[in-house]
Amino acid sequence: MGKEELIKGVLYVVNVLYAVFGLVTAATGIWFFVQLSEFVSLRNSNHYLLDYRVYWPQVAPWLFILLGLFVMMVAFCGWCGANKESRGLLGMYGLFLILIIIGQAIAATLIFVYVDGEHTDRFIKDTVYDGYYNSQSNPDVFKAFGRIERKLRCCGANDARDYRSWRNDLPLTCCLDSYYRASCEFTDKEANERLGCAKVAAVYTKIISSSVAGASLLISLVEIAGVMLAWKLFHSLREVEHYLPERKEGETEC
């Protein structure tokens, strides 16, 4: 029983790590979706009435969310299987972990191949350009675009020169100390050194997507260890069926 207790203890720790990873992955997906929606909302919707294409930056957040939720459910299943010494739950846990490992490998490969590519750059840049041009005639979009400039420390769609054709000065959101000044001149050194929001947003999209995909591949190594531990505990338990005791009202299976 000493060996079984050791395996169970390690499984508890491993499944806590899985649950934390799943929670972080789902939260990252939600955050990524919110940030992307902030950009997409700036576009002129009339330009995209007949555009039914789905771009990878729009798919990636949902992959992260679904993966994170599934990992948390599997971690709960593994914790219950180890706690109750249930061969059935441990078998399901091992099978689901194998599916997760395969799914993570496929998702990471797709993200590395498609998100870090020309189509992603085009989608992000077209979205930022459309939002920028829409801001020239829509005050609400102009304020929203300014929040993006302040958040990403960028200026204009391409760079600060974009504003020369229709403004006498730069928006305050292009300047470093915008909260403490009345205007931002075209001669402002810091504003002119900033990159355009299209390039900055495209780079951040690739960094976030690639980072989560890389983390998924790293955690898959831990998941392989979890499969091996579950397999050992599965075979070390008695071959007879472990029936769960009758539960009192209000108690859960675990």
For residue 68, being part of any structural domain is answered with yes
* pLDDT of res. 151: 92
How big, in percent rounded to 5, are the helix, strand and coil portions of the chain? Answer: 75, 0, 25
For residue 153, being part of any structural domain is answered with yes
Q: Which two tokens stand for residue 149?
A: 């400039």
- CATH code where residue 147 lies: 1.10.1450
Domain co-membership, 100 together with 156? no
Q: What range defines the domain where residue 9 resides?
A: 2-47+56-119+205-236
* pLDDT of res. 47: 63
**How many domains in the chain?**
2
Domain co-membership, 115 together with 213? yes
Per-residue pLDDT of the chain (254 residues; tens, 9 = 90+): 567 778 888 888 889 988 999 999 899 999 989 988 888 888 877 766 556 677 777 888 888 899 899 999 999 998 888 888 888 888 899 999 999 899 888 888 888 887 767 778 888 888 999 999 999 999 999 999 999 999 999 999 999 999 998 999 999 999 887 666 778 899 999 899 999 999 999 898 888 888 888 888 888 888 888 888 888 888 776 543 444 455 555 555 55
Domain co-membership, 105 together with 6? yes
Provide the CA 121 distance to its chain's centre, in angstroms: 18
CA distances from 192 to 71, 146, 185 (A): 45, 16, 10
Domain co-membership, 192 together with 214? no
- Cross-strand bridge partners of residue 184: 170
CA distances from 120 to 42, 165, 225 (A): 18, 28, 35
Domain co-membership, 96 together with 18? yes
Q: Which two tokens stand for residue 36?
A: 């992307």
pTM for this predicted structure: 0.78
Domain co-membership, 11 together with 90? yes
Domain co-membership, 19 together with 72? yes
Domain co-membership, 148 together with 228? no
Domain co-membership, 41 together with 68? yes
* CA–CA gap between residue 103 and residue 114 (Å, rounded): 16
* CA–CA gap between residue 210 and residue 216 (Å, rounded): 10
Residue of 66, 107, 74, 116 lying closest to 91 (CA atoms): 74
Domain co-membership, 94 together with 211? yes
